[in-house]
Amino acid sequence: MRTTAGKLLLSISLLASVSALAQQAGAGEAAAAAGDRSEATARAQEERLVCQRVKKIGSNRIERVCKTEAQSQKESEEAALRAARRDMQRTF
């Protein structure tokens, strides 16, 4: 009788340990999946098209210009660099 109770307690403790390990592994996988989702969301945000209606200089015609978020951000950064270089040249 004692051995049966001991085996039962041992089995229960092993099951609890395995269950805890499985939950930790599941939490790790969930965190990895959440990280993958956030990366996918960031990529989707950068690939999202943003369209603007732009009026060409010297014309009354309005043109629709579409760019990805990443392209728009890159152009803004390049324009800021050009402006900074131009300002540096003017000061000397």
Higher pLDDT, 39 or 85: 85
The pLDDT of residue 31: 57
**What's the chain's average pLDDT?**
78
Q: Check: pTM over 0.75? Answer yes or no.
A: no
Tally of domains in the chain: 1
Higher pLDDT, 87 or 33: 87
Domain ranges, residue 9: 2-91
**CA pair distance 92, 87, nearest whole angstrom:** 9
What Å distances lie between residue 45 and 7, 32, 55, 67, CA to CA? 56, 20, 26, 12
Higher pLDDT, 80 or 11: 80
